[in-house]
Structure 1
Amino acid sequence: MPSVETLTNSRRNQFIRASLLASAFAGAQQLHAHSPELKYVAPVAIQSGTKATLHFHGDRLDKAKELLFYKPGITVEGSPTIHSPKHVSFQVHLSPESSPGMHPVRLRCEDGITYQKTFHVSTYPIHQETKENNDSRDKAQLISPNTCIHGITTNEDVDYYQLPLKRGQVLSAEIAGMRLGRKFFDPHLSVLDPDGREIATSDDNPLTKQDPFISIRAPKDGTYYLAVRESSYEGSDSSHYLLTAGHFPRPAAIYPPGAISGQESSFQFINTDGSRLEKTLKPTAPALIHASENQLISPSGIPLKLSHYPFTNEQEPNNGSKESLPAQEIPHAFHGIISKTNDVDWFQFSAKKDQDISIQVLARELGSPLDARIILRDSAGKQLAANDDSNNRPDSSLNFKIPKDGTYFINIRDHLANAGPNFTYRIEVSPRKQTLKASINRSDRNDSQLRKVINIPRGSSLAYQLNVARDRHSAAVFTTAHNLPEGVKLTSLTAENGVNNIPLYFEATDTAPLSGGLYPVYVESKNPNLKQSITEDIEHIAINNQGVYCSYESDKLAIAVTEAAPFDISLATPAIPAVQNGTIDLTITATREDGFDKEITLFFPWLPPGITAPGNVKIPKGKNQAVYHLSIKGDAPVKNWQLCVSALSDTDRGKVLLSSNLVPLNVKTPYLTAKLEIAATNQGTPVSLPCKIEQLANFSGNATLTLHGLPDGFKAQPVTLNSSTTEVLIPVELAKNARIGNHSNLFCHIEVPENGHNISHNTGHGGSLRVNAPPKDKPTAKKESKKPSSKPKPLSRLEQLRQELK
């Protein structure tokens, strides 16, 4: 049985130190790793260029240290104020350049980083919905132009706001509801004229998803009304929204929708009525462009695709091949607008024989309502390929191998022949590239953040499954990190060709400072062009079978060193290999601090292909050891893998997760195989089942073969064999009521001795044992005696074995 001596020096020192502390400070509360829980952040929104207090509400937050922001422009002033374990606050300063919109944030405590939560940044002053009833036009709340209102829409509630306008004056209004990332809340917005007639309405919009916006010009002087509700009148006390209203520009699109990063270009912001605002910009990543006019800017931006590709903007008319602009060398991007019903735009490019190209449309991805359909044609106009939706997304894409040198055409239209001034698109035509993507495996269907934060207890390890996706290559990839918290090490592990997941394995020394942050971690290969940050996609609002409504993707992982855990686990190195179609047992030993005796749940964060195991195994309360049973499939790759097991348990400060040491697991081909033959007998009559043995590798000593798969009423005796055995007879006893019929689910379990242990083989599947009812008694008849043969027939090896068993 592995003991504390089998642990690494770092782990052993941790427990020695913990024991000394326990002796020196008997009765004092131990420092244990835990899971601080962040439920929400308040206020919902803060104005850029101001100072504010951010409040964090949850549980076990009393060791808060710092805030981790994903976007620039926000700084923390001073230390946190600890109001209670459930409430802490920070003084923050937002620069005038802090980007409007959703800002993700995490709270780092001494003993862990929390889930990601969000708050909003507004360019405009923020006011609250008045507490008095504003559920009718007569009671509408008066608001100043160019302000942001924080409101709540309860069940069957409609909130009214009023704003005086002059004829021709712009009224723009936009709601952030779903984009707050707090709960599923689908807002609806209407504008009523001074007579109470509805003159504009908005529910969903491709640019702002489930959130509405409206931009109109007042047809006459008077007071106009904004009505806010949940689209199905199903609001609640937690249905928060931000209504920004005023005279700012609120375009529906930008054209062209793409540009060369860092290059000055001319753009047009397109309003819903088709009017345009010209601007010269020099965009850089991340490209989310806000329209501005008269020192007022739109509350949210419009996505712009940046690349190094040269591009061509359409020139109407281009409704056919003869009207399209001259062919362009690829890579190249084409921009256009499907502005009229049944509009079709044509472009041409030149390509070489056997060139493998990619054609990608960017429309919905950039907030355009266009549901694109593309067709690829040769120089004679013959259709070569077409696509509508791709990868469950409405944006079209094609991969195509060019048959010969020449000119090729792309034509694009809306799938339902819809059109409008904001039906913009970008088409990228380029040689297909080798790509690499990686992300941490999702642990729960309904919780995209579960087991994604890398909180590593001092002196322990932590492992996750990393999913790797390759396109157009089969290169071996490995994990790397160049900047991690002090005292943290990443063990670089490799995913060979055909392996799409590997462990992401971190270790923290027992003296590592309690620190953490957001860090890039990479997968890469020997090909310098194949290096990619591991991405993390947090779904703040998602509904099963409907999709994701609000999410945030980052190329950094939350990693922290936390307080030491009150337990650790050690995985014993297997003394024997595992074989294909075999099994192996792994022993896990827990080392506990004095006073900690809670149940520990074990599970594998990652398993090699072809190896399966139960979902979890328990180390019971007060116990220190468990055995994990692994099954190896017949097609499991023959390889030496690195394996670890993870452990989850409750502590006095919440749940703690850690992992064992890495151990090698050598998967080999079987030492032998068995082939069961067919046998038949009657109820109650013993039988010997023939079995042929094929030796594949030498072994010493005697192996034991046991027949499995027999139903009740059958009993097979174990059989001994060695490395020279080629066939055996397996004695089987049958009860008088043994089930009649053909029993074909039989197989052999063979234990082959090695290093004082047994290597388990499961083989011989497909044998058959037929059981008949005993024959009825019949009168005996005299038979003529036959002269015995002068030469007895030689016995086969199986007959000899049968004789030996008598």
Structure 2
Amino acid sequence: MDRRLSKPERSRKVRRGESFPLDLREGFPLNDSRLEPRSRSRRRESALILCLKSKQVRRLTSAATRFTGRAGVRARAALKGTRSARPCLQWIVLFGFFVVAVQSQPIPKLTSVSPEWIQRGTTSVVTLEGENLSEVTGFIFSGEGGLTATNAPPPAYSANLESSRGGIVPGEDDERKLRVSVTVAPEAQLGARELRAVTATGVSEPVIVNVDFLSQITEREPNNDTNHAQLVELPVAINGVIRESAESDFFRFKAQKAQRLIFDVYAFRSGSPLDSSLALLDADGKELVRSEDVNGLDSLIDFTVPHDGEYFLQIRDFRYQGAKDFKYRIVAGELPCLDGIFPLGGQRGKSVEVSLRGRNLDALSKMKLKVEPTAPMGQQEIRARTAKGYSNPVLFDVGGLAEFTETEPNNALTNANAVTLPVVINGRINGEKDVDQFKFKVEKDQTFIFEVEASRFGSPLDAVLYLTDAKGKVIQQNDDTVGADARIEQRFSEAGEYVIRIRDLLERNGEDFAYRLVVRPPKPDFTVSFFPDTPRLYRDSYTVVGVEVQRQAGFDGAVEARLENVPAGVTAEPLLVPPDSTVSPMIVLHASEVAPLGRHLIKLAASGVIDGQRVNHEGRPEANGRAVREAFLTVLDKPPFTLEPVTLSARTEQDQSTAVEVAVRRFEGFLGEIQVTAEGFSSGKEPLTRNVELKPVTVRATDGRATLNLKAKLDSETGTRLILFKGEAKAEGQTVVQYSRAIPLTVDPFPFTLANSLPRLAITALPPDRKSAASEAEFSVKANRRGWFTDDIRLKVEGVPEGIVINSTNITRGASEAAYRIVASDKAPAGKEVSLTIIGSADVNGRSYQFRAPPLKVTINAPASENGSDQAAEKTASAK
């Protein structure tokens, strides 16, 4: 058998450092140790050797001449080829390679992970997809630990090559995929974790991996009919994709008589567009049962095995559609399955007895739960556990108010349950035309919120709320304020007894129509988020973290925000968000020249005063507008350039411009172009450009400064905000972004604006002896005075042609409008359209302001003929 390369491959010439495809012929001995794939580290070493042998070594000459002492002697000796050259040369190249590589490495980005589920107590290989993944050196998992990860070796090649002199290794397909070996401890907590990739230059955004107790199987094509069904062993979790239209995936399994098997599909509930149709078939392919739309659009089969043997499981899209995002997950086996629990929550620090409904629960129908005083508030997942394993998760709410469970009958005013507010009422709409009613007493001028929590727990209840007086007269009703959950807020002008009533909109009912009705007074509060979740900061440089305050129930106090866990050498001044601020403020970070390099977990602490008490909240990090669990600051070595504001503060008015200047400082001979712009925020997270017009400026190698022109829009928000200069450049083939320290930009209101009452009008050019209203027209100019301005506004009209007469007028002190009258004579340019512009001016505090109203379009018509021949005669005369 011929083991040689083909002729084109034998004769090909390859440049150093070049990767190239190679066709491997059959016949290589697979047990030849020389053909083992090299490790990732070995490949990097080979690349470094190639770099040593290439012309790139010459670039280190100037760097070596800058070394001093023994290092300089050895460096220069290395480049001259003396006896000490080899170890010195390796040292120089390694040092230079490290510095350049670290500075030029791009930031890793993650877009997906596959598979998304991993089994507890095992080691699995997952594939990360994204960008810039070739230099990933570590991984971070959120949560309480129990998960670790390392770079996985590349898949085994069926054949390989080894070069005779080294330096030629198998090349990776691209930098968009990375194989990762994930080890999950046996005691690791079940549920979702965030996974991030780490390089020397930053931390990626997270992707979600889920820890499960079941064995995980990925569907393997072809499996599109019973003849090619994929064999699986129950219990198991099957992860697959319906990739094409009309595709079906088949799985084959063995089962024993009397087993109660659960097949639970997760697609719709996980955000997949798949509308599943799930079927069980016997060994002959005969359909035994089919399921659709049990949990939303997700299928669920509860099957008792009639006899020992093999069976088939088929899944497809109900509409026979398919695509790469039509993902599904099937939990299959003799497993416990929870249909629901009641009540849906409990009070922190108290015990609650929960009833369970489901299948394979081994007679477990009730369970007493103790909610610890330190249990986190809000929703969390709970599972039932039997000898067969864990059930599917259901949501359970931890609250801080007293709990009350409804007692039937309570369908009428006469038997309404009495409750004391504030309270959380647990109930079920369970019975034909069931209505639950609860009576309570309030004091005059008390305000309460009545909020149903049902659909957010997966309950099918579409609640309707009625607030009535003691006689049943409806005061207020509501449906679907938050999804399918109703909400009423009422201020009671009179003390007394009232009733709150709840039912299903369509009068449906059942054990699963559970709800929590939370009744509480409005509580002023706030939450805080910050972004990005992965800021990067160079030594001796600046960066920013944006902060957004969400105010609730009328909270109007100031909020203090500060970053915690920042390393020594990094400063982040605390931020005070004033009560009336609508702009997302920024925390400016600065790193000294000795700040420790690497990543650092950071948090944001926020505090405010509510009802005389200081309230503390932890800020929630966000990645691209999505809430995440953790945030990381990466400190990098000195950048190739920095920015320093020359203008220390800026001020302008609406519809006016101001110039700001920034100095550029370059390092290490960096001569690349730098694009400089300004950044900041408008209301909320709106960019600065929502209110300010600006164009980036390109700073060339010979320039040391940049001047930006900032023009506040006419409708710009007024007040003071922080802005920064942002510089962006290419260095070593990668994008480097730098920020300056912040400066204040103040936008003052323009004293007035003008607007015409009409956008256009028409008049007719007539001689003085022809009296007609057609030669006249009227319109007005209206002034919008801003703030304190009430003085006169002087007006003039620009663009008036010959033959048009328009009166002069002004808008007097305190007035808001001026009238104009236009008269056209026979000298006006008939048949044309002209633009008239009203210009207003006023003097304020020794400064003259001028505003141009939008142009008024005036159409000048020719006069109509007095008899049929007049116009023709005029044309003839004109021609002569």
Q: Same fold (TM over 0.5)?
A: yes
The aligned counterpart of 2:427 is 336
Summarize the alignment of residues 701-720 of structure 1 with structure 2, pairs less than 5 Å apart: none
How far the C-alpha of 1:56 sits from its partner, in A, is 3.5
For 2:700 and 2:720, how far apart are their aligned partners in 1? 34
The aligned counterpart of 2:413 is 321
Q: 1:604 to 1:668 in 2, by over 3 A?
A: same
SS at match of 2:338: coil
Give the aligned residue type for 2:412: G
How far the C-alpha of 1:743 sits from its partner, in A, is 4.9
Q: 1:172 to 1:675 in 2, by over 3 A?
A: same
Q: What TM-score do you get using the length of structure 2 for normalisation?
A: 0.67
Q: 1:225 to 1:410 in 2, by over 3 A?
A: farther
The aligned counterpart of 2:217 is 127
Q: Given the alignment of the two structures, is residue 516 of structure 1 paired with residue 596 of structure 2, yes or no?
A: no
How far the C-alpha of 1:401 sits from its partner, in A, is 1.0
8 A contact 2:799–2:834 mirrored in 1:
no
How far the C-alpha of 1:601 sits from its partner, in A, is 5.7
Q: Given the alignment of the two structures, is residue 278 of structure 1 paired with residue 366 of structure 2, yes or no?
A: yes
For 2:470 and 2:252, how far apart are their aligned partners in 1? 59
Question: After superposition, what is the alpha-carbon deviation per residue over 1:712-764, rounded to whole angstroms, capped at 9, x for unaligned?
Answer: xxxxxxxxxxxxxxxxxxxxxxx99899777554446899999xxxxx97534
The aligned counterpart of 2:60 is none
Q: 1:239 to 1:679 in 2, by over 3 A?
A: closer
Pick one of 657, 667, 672 that aligns with 1:597: 672
For 1:222 and 1:536, how far apart are their aligned partners in 2? 52
For 1:650 and 1:737, how far apart are their aligned partners in 2? 58
The aligned counterpart of 1:377 is 468
Give the aligned residue type for 1:121: V
Give the aligned residue type for 2:383: A
Q: Given the alignment of the two structures, is residue 578 of structure 1 paired with residue 666 of structure 2, yes or no?
A: no
The aligned counterpart of 2:513 is 423
How far the C-alpha of 1:246 sits from its partner, in A, is 0.7
Number of equivalenced pairs: 686
The aligned counterpart of 1:242 is 329
How far the C-alpha of 1:588 sits from its partner, in A, is 3.8
How far the C-alpha of 1:374 sits from its partner, in A, is 1.3
For 1:473 and 1:738, how far apart are their aligned partners in 2? 63
Give the aligned residue type for 2:672: D
Q: Given the alignment of the two structures, is residue 140 of structure 1 paired with residue 140 of structure 2, yes or no?
A: no
Question: After superposition, what is the alpha-carbon deviation per residue over 1:344-386, rounded to whole angstroms, capped at 9, x for unaligned?
Answer: 2222333222111111111111111222221112222111111
Give the aligned residue type for 1:524: S
The aligned counterpart of 1:433 is 523
How far the C-alpha of 1:529 sits from its partner, in A, is 5.0
8 A contact 2:125–2:152 mirrored in 1:
no
Question: After superposition, what is the alpha-carbon deviation per residue over 1:257-287, rounded to whole angstroms, capped at 9, x for unaligned?
Answer: 0112353322122238999732223356675
Give the aligned residue type for 2:215: P
Summarize the alignment of residues 224-373 of structure 1 with structure 2, pairs less than 5 Å apart: 224-236=311-323, 239-271=326-358, 277-283=365-371, 287-298=379-390, 300-325=392-417, 327-373=418-464
Pick one of 103, 109, 133 that aligns with 1:37: 109
SS at match of 1:677: strand
Question: After superposition, what is the alpha-carbon deviation per residue over 1:684-728, rounded to whole angstroms, capped at 9, x for unaligned?
Answer: 699999898999xxxxxxxxxxxxxxxxxxxxxxxxxxxxxxxxx
The aligned counterpart of 2:580 is 498
Q: 1:285 to 1:211 in 2, by over 3 A?
A: farther
Question: After superposition, what is the alpha-carbon deviation per residue over 1:178-200, rounded to whole angstroms, capped at 9, x for unaligned?
Answer: 6777x755544334467766565
Summarize the alignment of residues 156-167 of structure 1 with structure 2, pairs less than 5 Å apart: 156-166=246-256
Q: Given the alignment of the two structures, is residue 606 of structure 1 paired with residue 681 of structure 2, yes or no?
A: yes
For 1:769 and 1:42, how far apart are their aligned partners in 2? 62
Give the aligned residue type for 1:533: E
How far the C-alpha of 1:302 sits from its partner, in A, is 0.8
Q: CA RMSD of the aligned region, Å?
A: 4.6
For 1:241 and 1:424, how far apart are their aligned partners in 2? 28
Q: Given the alignment of the two structures, is residue 474 of structure 1 paired with residue 546 of structure 2, yes or no?
A: no
Pick one of 137, 147, 160 that aligns with 1:75: 147
Deviates more, 1:213-222 or 1:481-490: 213-222
Q: 1:764 to 1:53 in 2, by over 3 A?
A: closer
Summarize the alignment of residues 544-559 of structure 1 with structure 2, pairs less than 5 Å apart: 553-559=627-633
The aligned counterpart of 2:726 is 646
The aligned counterpart of 1:106 is 196
8 A contact 1:73–1:97 mirrored in 2:
no
The aligned counterpart of 1:61 is 133
For 1:647 and 1:215, how far apart are their aligned partners in 2? 61
Q: 1:401 to 1:193 in 2, by over 3 A?
A: farther
Q: 1:614 to 1:255 in 2, by over 3 A?
A: same
8 A contact 1:744–1:766 mirrored in 2:
no
Q: What TM-score do you get using the length of structure 1 for normalisation?
A: 0.73
Give the aligned residue type for 1:462: T
Question: After superposition, what is the alpha-carbon deviation per residue over 1:50-85, rounded to whole angstroms, capped at 9, x for unaligned?
Answer: 234455444333443432222324332678879985
For 2:98 and 2:430, how far apart are their aligned partners in 1? 78
SS at match of 2:103: coil
For 1:656 and 1:205, how far apart are their aligned partners in 2? 52
Deviates more, 1:581-590 or 1:362-371: 581-590
Deviates more, 1:144-153 or 1:424-433: 144-153
For 2:582 and 2:404, how far apart are their aligned partners in 1? 39
Q: 1:642 to 1:536 in 2, by over 3 A?
A: closer
The aligned counterpart of 2:539 is 458
Identify unmatched segments of 5+ residues in structure 1.
1-20, 442-450, 540-550, 696-734, 755-759, 777-806
Q: 1:508 to 1:179 in 2, by over 3 A?
A: farther
Give the aligned residue type for 2:425: F
For 1:402 and 1:466, how far apart are their aligned partners in 2? 37
Give the aligned residue type for 1:377: T
For 1:412 and 1:134, how far apart are their aligned partners in 2? 49
How far the C-alpha of 1:320 sits from its partner, in A, is 2.1
Between 1 and 2, higher relative CO (CA 8 Å, sep ≥ 6) is seen in: 1
8 A contact 2:265–2:300 mirrored in 1:
yes
Q: 1:390 to 1:117 in 2, by over 3 A?
A: same
The aligned counterpart of 2:742 is 662
Q: 1:336 to 1:686 in 2, by over 3 A?
A: closer
Identify unmatched segments of 5+ residues in structure 2.
1-92, 155-172, 752-789, 814-826, 864-880
Higher-Rg structure is 2
8 A contact 2:152–2:181 mirrored in 1:
yes
SS at match of 1:64: coil
8 A contact 2:140–2:195 mirrored in 1:
yes
For 1:452 and 1:648, how far apart are their aligned partners in 2? 20
SS at match of 1:365: helix
Give the aligned residue type for 2:608: S
Aligned-pair identity in percent equals 21
Q: 1:607 to 1:141 in 2, by over 3 A?
A: closer
Deviates more, 1:307-316 or 1:38-47: 38-47
How far the C-alpha of 1:312 sits from its partner, in A, is 1.6
How far the C-alpha of 1:522 sits from its partner, in A, is 3.5
How far the C-alpha of 1:676 sits from its partner, in A, is 3.0
Instruction: Answer 1 or 2: which has greater helix percent.
Output: 2
Deviates more, 1:156-165 or 1:280-289: 280-289
8 A contact 1:120–1:180 mirrored in 2:
no
